[in-house]
Structure 1
């Protein structure tokens, strides 16, 4: 049984067939999804979707969605974390973090919202789902100053030293579609060499497609659409990790799911299968 620790099931790309996406995931053996929020305006909808599908969810303000965010969004986040604190589906604060890859973003603004959300995670005793893009050192600086109950560094692509520092602070590291590319030498080396307790799997669906869904240069030139990533791809991504570690697929599913539970303890309160019939709820 596989756990997808990062899946944007509420994304508009899934609007045409969201229920079918969930069914395909379950048929593939993906028995738990974690759905991170990106903006305060989506909190209610995301929570309803998590309940409809038997999934877990996290609440937070994504660094790429901060353009129109205000202090009122932080207040709404605090209000929802308080109001829903006994909801077993709520497992983390996220997706939060820093993005130093996309040009033109206000880094000071990102820092303000990142630190404010770390304080909320600490206040409510929740782990965090971290967005890490060329920002690992700055994220770690915040974690040293504002301690939280661990979490997951999503789509990790930092150095071995940075990875060790996250692990020392109780974090697991998320590996997904990028792992499937043979040229991803550093990420593969990390996935192969890190302690087995540090590894969790994710899709970031509909984003970060594995190599078999990625457009080639020729396909991009011909304006062919890129294949949409979805949680049903997780076992195939996991097979790459299994090959790197010398594990069987079953061992890989069990170990990474156990790590997900260690990172997000409230997952233990949720059933892993079968999920509810969500045809009407998510159509």
Structure 2
């Protein structure tokens, strides 16, 4: 059994075949998923999908690329949604210096506010990081994010940062890039991350793993990611899938369904 800890089934790319995509995941052993909402459009649908399936959950937050659009009312709305029984984390949040829609200072302010909100409602956080690792580490430390813990989502950074995030009570989640031929960093990290802090995800519809790179990603492909990590670590696939699934249950405080 596998747990896709980060998927965007609420994306437009799944509009026409969402139910079939979910069933395909179930049929391939991906029994649990967390659908991540990150703005006014995607959050309601994330919760709607989670309500419709017993083993699908939701995370709610505000993406750093769109930080400039977030209002105080949006923050209050996210806080209210945190009490929903199928919401298991706040995020994705963080910093993204690749795109320049939202100035860095605005991104940092919105990031700090969401960490404070997560601490208020006592929920873990999901971190989006693109070209901003040092600033993210500094901000997490300043805001004492270790008190609630979180996930470094779709980790694609140097393994030298792994221990710093572990020390802050974070799990590390690996996605499609770990299967890419020339992606050395996630492969190195896949071996360095302690098994009891490792998670797997697709980030679908983005970052489809090999051999589907460049196509639409979907949650059933998390099996390809787990198989690659098991290969890199030299352990059986069943062991890797069991460990990462139990880690996800623990992190999201989810009880396995009978």
TM range (shorter): over 0.9
User: What does the per-residue CA deviation read over 1:80-116, in whole Å, with 9 as the maximum and x for residues that have no partner?
Assistant: 224x2xx1x2110011111012245311110111000
Greater alpha carbon shift after TM alignment, 174-183 vs 36-45: 36-45
Query: What RMSD over aligned residues (CA atoms) do the two structures have, in Å?
Result: 1.5
Distance 1:78 1:196 in 2: 32
Cα deviation for residue 5 of structure 1 reads 0.5
Do the aligned residues in 1 keep the contact of 2:37 with 2:58 (CA within 8 Å)? yes
What residue number does 2:231 align with? 243
Runs of 4+ in 1 over 3 A off after TM superposition: none
Do the aligned residues in 2 keep the contact of 1:137 with 1:162 (CA within 8 Å)? no
Do the aligned residues in 2 keep the contact of 1:171 with 1:263 (CA within 8 Å)? no
Q: Relative contact order (C-alpha < 8 Å, sep 6+): which is higher? A: 1
What residue number does 1:59 align with? 60
- Larger radius of gyration, structure 1 or 2? 1
SS at match of 2:34: strand
Cα deviation for residue 63 of structure 1 reads 1.0
User: What does the per-residue CA deviation read over 1:39-60, in whole Å, with 9 as the maximum and x for residues that have no partner?
Assistant: 1344333211111122111110
Distance 2:45 2:4 in 1: 20
Greater alpha carbon shift after TM alignment, 111-120 vs 67-76: 67-76
Do the aligned residues in 2 keep the contact of 1:98 with 1:131 (CA within 8 Å)? yes
What residue number does 1:203 align with? 202
What residue number does 1:278 align with? none
Distance 2:202 2:186 in 1: 15
Q: What runs of 5+ residues in structure 2 fail to find an aligned partner?
A: none
SS at match of 1:6: strand
What residue number does 1:74 align with? 75
Distance 1:41 1:185 in 2: 35
Do the aligned residues in 2 keep the contact of 1:35 with 1:56 (CA within 8 Å)? yes
Do the aligned residues in 2 keep the contact of 1:59 with 1:93 (CA within 8 Å)? yes
Greater alpha carbon shift after TM alignment, 256-265 vs 202-211: 256-265
Do the aligned residues in 2 keep the contact of 1:22 with 1:53 (CA within 8 Å)? no
Distance 1:146 1:262 in 2: 23
Do the aligned residues in 1 keep the contact of 2:155 with 2:175 (CA within 8 Å)? no
Cα deviation for residue 211 of structure 1 reads 2.4
Distance 2:187 2:46 in 1: 32
What residue number does 1:222 align with? none
TM-score by length of 1: 0.86
TM-score by length of 2: 0.94
Distance 2:193 2:61 in 1: 28
Q: What runs of 5+ residues in structure 1 fail to find an aligned partner?
A: 215-225, 274-283
Cα deviation for residue 7 of structure 1 reads 0.2
Cα deviation for residue 164 of structure 1 reads 0.9
Do the aligned residues in 1 keep the contact of 2:67 with 2:102 (CA within 8 Å)? no
User: What does the per-residue CA deviation read over 1:190-234, in whole Å, with 9 as the maximum and x for residues that have no partner?
Assistant: 1012211221100000001112122xxxxxxxxxxx411000111
Q: How does 1:221-236 map to 2 (within 5 A)?
A: 226-236=214-224
Do the aligned residues in 1 keep the contact of 2:172 with 2:193 (CA within 8 Å)? no
User: What does the per-residue CA deviation read over 1:8-37, in whole Å, with 9 as the maximum and x for residues that have no partner?
Assistant: 011010011000000000000001001111
